[in-house]
Amino acid sequence: MPDQQIVVAGTTLYRIRALKDFGNVKAGNLGGFVRSERNLSQLGDCWVADEAQVYDDAVISDAAQIRRANTSKSTAGRAT
């Protein structure tokens, strides 16, 4: 299951798994899909949940929580 992947618009996305506990997320929880580690910051409490997809130049950072969304190109999630 951690190696689960999907193809969206010709881009392979990989399911993420939480490495640590934070907020409502527990270590080991499965999240949504990203193209690469660059799409999800390792700083803060950001998370891609459910079946959400983040790829291209999109970066989820700070405390942003992305759910059931398709985020790509220059769209970015940042909590203020």
Predicted pLDDT at 73: 58
Predicted pLDDT at 80: 33
Identify whether the C-beta of residue 63 lies closer than 8 Å to the C-beta of residue 47: no
Confidence band of 1 (pLDDT split at 50, 70, 90):
very low
Beta bridge partners of 30: 17
- The amino acid at residue 9 is A
Predicted pLDDT at 2: 52
pTM of structure: 0.83
In a domain, residue 79? The reply is: no
The model's pLDDT over 8-67, given as tens digits with 9 standing for 90+, comes to 999 999 999 999 999 999 999 999 999 999 999 999 999 999 999 999 999 999 999 999
Range of the domain at 56: 5-72
- Collapsing DSSP states into helix, strand and coil, what is residue 26? coil
Q: How many domains does the chain have?
A: 1
Distance between CA atoms of residues 64 and 22, nearest Å: 12
